[in-house]
Structures are given as C-alpha cells and as structure tokens.
Structure 1
Amino acid sequence: MPSKFFPNPAESSSDGLVAAGGELTPDWLLDAYRHGIFPWPMEDFEPHVWWSPDPRAVLPLDGFRASKRLLRRVRSGQFAVTFDKAFGDVMSGCASGPGREGGTWITPIMIDSYCEIHQLGHAHSVEVWRADQLIGGVYGVSIGGLFAAESMFHRERDASKVALYHLVKHLNDRGYQLLDVQQWTPHTGSLGVIEIPRHEYLGRLAEVVDLPVTFVDT
C-alpha cells in the first residue's frame, strides 16, 4: 500500500533523501517506518528530513556475532536486563553523555515523539542495569515483524553490546523477521551487520510489516 505522506522511497535521491517537512506525529512516524523511511535531523536544517538509504544495513537475526568476552559478560550475572522499563531514559542516554553511539541527532522533539509511539506500543527499549543504575541500552521501532533499531549507549564497557545481544535473542523468540539498523559502520559490521540493496530491503519489509508479531504481551 502506498504511503499516505511520502513519495516512493525507491525513487529517492542517491544519498537516500526522500522528503523534507511534515510532522513527527505517530501517524507520520509509523507510516514512514512501514515504508522503509526514517527521520534523521540535519544540523541547521529546520524542517524534518526523511531518509531511505541505499544500500540499507540490517542485522540478520541468525547472524549476530558475539565475541567470547561478550558471552562471558552475558553469562556472568553482573548485569540485569529489562525490556520497556525505562524507555525515555534509554533515549536520553543515547542522546547525550559518555558512551552515546551516534546519538547527537536525537533532539528533544525526537525524544517526545518516540516516547509517544512507545506509549502506543510501537517503540521499545532494552535496558542494562548494574544494581539500580542504568548503564546501557538500545531502543527502536516495532511494526509487525520489523524492528528498526535506532541507537544504543553504554556507561560501562560492553553494556550496549549486552543490550543488543538480548534484543536479538528477544526478537528471535518473538518471531521477528527483520532487524533494520539503517547504516553500516565498522563497529556494527563487527557485530554481524550487513548491507543489502534498498530494493531488497523494501521487498522484505513489505512481507513482514503486517505479521502478527508483538514485542511484549499485552
């Protein structure tokens, strides 16, 4: 089904720019993710900017690479891991402070907007704790069998990787089919992230967005 708000992302510019303007409301955000589009603000550029890069980076749900050290950390019992217990705090951790991983684009209006779709059941977080201190996490958007991971952060070594490890396990357990991470970096590549052509991503997305999959039981 065509997007209500956006042009066809398959026809966007070579750098992935789809549109500028619009609103960061639930209707706009969820329509964007259903069609392979996401907002990514540009510095000193006031309208909202929407993207669908080519190629697209995904983490195959059977392809996460966990080092021996990370597996030891996961099994050590040092950390407690929760889901959807501190969504806003995870976003704030991704937006600022030590250990943020590419989160400078997470503006206050972005936090408010994603917290709104969290309340609607379409944005979720994984939290990593030491005692009662939040030391890492990851958040993203969920629609059908898609989970679009947005950002992660750590305040202790490996805490974000622990969050990602548990996210991948959780998505497999719940029957998700597609884990989008938008863009490849050497860091995410070391964890198993690969690039696929945008047309392939959009085709896979169309097959999974209406699957009866939920992140948590309601």
Structure 2
Amino acid sequence: MSRCPGWEALDVRAAAPDGPVAFCADLGPASLLAAYRAGLYPFPAPDEYTRALNEVLYADQVQEGRIQLVGDESADPYAVSWWSPDPRPVLPVSAAHLSRSLARRLRNRLPWSTSLDRRFERVVRECRAGRVPQWLTEELIDSLVRLHELGHAHSVEVWEDGELVGGVFGLRVGPVFSMDSMFFRRPGASKVAVYDLAVRFAQAGGVLLDAQRDSPHVRALGCVLVPREQYVRQLRGTGPDSLPMPADTWPARRLAQPAPAADHVRTGKPR
C-alpha cells in the first residue's frame, strides 16, 4: 500500500469506472479544488457506519494499489471517498434547453427571476435539507463557502416574489462547471437554474456543465455520457478562468425566448 503525494500526481484515467478512485480525509479548500481539477469529487461518510463500510469494502483494493490513498498519513482516509465515474454525464452549454411546457409557463409570466451568487451558502444548505445520505457535511460546506469567497464556487438562484424557490451550485474549473447539487421548491425551478447557469457560463467562455453522476434526472436535463478520458481532456483544456459570469438579476422569462444562449452570448444583455 502506498500513498499518492497529491491530487496532481493522480491519473484518474486508469481507475475503475464505477467505484471510488481514492480515499483522502482532507476536505480543505485547496484539496477540494485540486481534486476537481483532476476530475474527482468527494463523498464524505455521513456517519461512522459508512466510514467503516468504506474500509470493509475497499481495503483490499487499497492494499493492492487499485485505489489510491492521498494526503496526510496521520488522517483517517476512509472518512472521505473520491469518485470519477466513467462515463461522465455532461451537458454542453450550447445544447442546454428548456422543455416546451416549462418555456410556455415562463412566457406566460411565471413570476420568477434568476441571480448569480446572491445566496451561495443558502443554496448549499437547501440542497442538503432532507437528503439521505447527508454527504454535504459541515466540513465540506465550510470549504465550499471558502472557495465561493475565492471565486471558484458559484450558485444560481431562482426567485419568486422574493422567495428562494430553486437553485444549483458547484465549482468552476476552466471551461467546465461541475454541478454538485440542485434543489427546487416549485416544479421546474431547478431546471430553470441549470439552464440559467448554462447561459451565464456560455457568456463567460464555458463549454460544459458536469453532472458528476448519471441518473434519470440528469438525463432529463439533457446530459449525455462521455468517456472519462474525454472529460479529463476537457478539464485540462484552456479556459478563461478569470472571465466572470454575468451577476445580474434577470427575469427568468428571457430564457423562454428563441435561442437565448446564442443571442445572450452575442449581445451580453438579457432580454
């Protein structure tokens, strides 16, 4: 059994497609950002049972070197597993769209508006509420909030008459935005949040939204599966990290207009 000195030395392309790629207890902001840049995301054990189960299920693979240990030798690695599924569900920003029924609701003056980064921590905590297992631990939330303060993590909020009714949050890595979670309190609000994120990210030079793990829900958003190697190549491509996404609060009905993404990128103005 050996330890990888850091995320930059870990090549996820040779890892198993459907299990943890690594174990590492370090959920600090620097570790978190480096792992995302390498194509991984964390799944902290929400309780001691899950932590013990990680060790029971995967200790042999760790011993054989098929799953890496990363970071400080004194820390308990099995507290946090790190994943990089193959294939990876992604949504090209150019392919993002709303369903006809949801676009019709927005055109009929559904009183929603969208914003960027107005309530980042609130969106994260709304995404945690009622979820089982509760992988959004306090330690992870603290690091996400710090990365938000440093400009790496972002949220899109959906509002109805001043009430937060939906949102999505995640980390930006160059041309890729990795979506950690989303929530809704009105039907369709999380889909509007994702589409709004795609429009804003496209204007900032972004290429892909990463949904991390495949599911019927992310397929319904329009995600397609790509090989992990292709996803990692995209991560390592050039991207305008410093080009900010538009931070304005806009009426959501602009998203229901014909080809809003292309028009919005061209003019830089909401409809």
Q: What is the TM-score of this pair, normalised by structure 2? A: 0.72
Match of 1:19 among 17, 22, 40: 22
For residue 124 of structure 1, what is the aligned residue in structure 2? Answer: 154
Q: Deviations over 1:156-188 (max 9, x none)?
A: 111111111211111112110221111221121
Shift of 1:70: 1.4
Match of 2:104 among 45, 50, 72: 72
For residue 54 of structure 1, what is the aligned residue in structure 2? Answer: 86
Question: Cα 1:137–1:3, aligned 2, differ >3 Å: closer, same or farther?
Answer: farther
Distance in 2 (alpha carbons) for counterparts of 1:146 and 1:103: 26
For residue 34 of structure 2, what is the aligned residue in structure 1? Answer: 31
Checking the alignment, whether the CA contact within 8 Å between 1:142 and 1:215 is kept in structure 2 is no
Question: Cα 1:216–1:116, aligned 2, differ >3 Å: closer, same or farther?
Answer: farther
Checking the alignment, whether the CA contact within 8 Å between 1:7 and 1:18 is kept in structure 2 is no
For residue 128 of structure 2, what is the aligned residue in structure 1? Answer: 95
When the two chains are superposed, the root-mean-square deviation of aligned CA atoms in Å is 2.2
Distance in 1 (alpha carbons) for counterparts of 2:83 and 2:142: 20
Q: Deviations over 1:180-215 (max 9, x none)?
A: 111221121122101111111111211145655333
Checking the alignment, whether the CA contact within 8 Å between 2:205 and 2:239 is kept in structure 1 is no
Task: State, as a whole percentage, how many aligned pairs show the same letter.
Answer: 38
For residue 195 of structure 2, what is the aligned residue in structure 1? Answer: 165
For residue 184 of structure 1, what is the aligned residue in structure 2? Answer: 214
Q: Which AA in structure 2 matches 1:214? A: P
Structure number with the higher helix fraction is: 2
What 5-or-longer segments of structure 1 have no aligned partner?
A: none
Checking the alignment, whether the CA contact within 8 Å between 2:88 and 2:226 is kept in structure 1 is yes
Q: Which AA in structure 2 matches 1:40? A: F
**Which structure is larger by alpha-carbon Rg, 1 or 2?**
2
Helix, strand or coil at the partner of 2:36? helix
Q: What is the TM-score of this pair, normalised by structure 1? A: 0.88
Match of 2:182 among 152, 168, 174: 152
Checking the alignment, whether the CA contact within 8 Å between 2:17 and 2:87 is kept in structure 1 is no
Helix, strand or coil at the partner of 1:137? strand
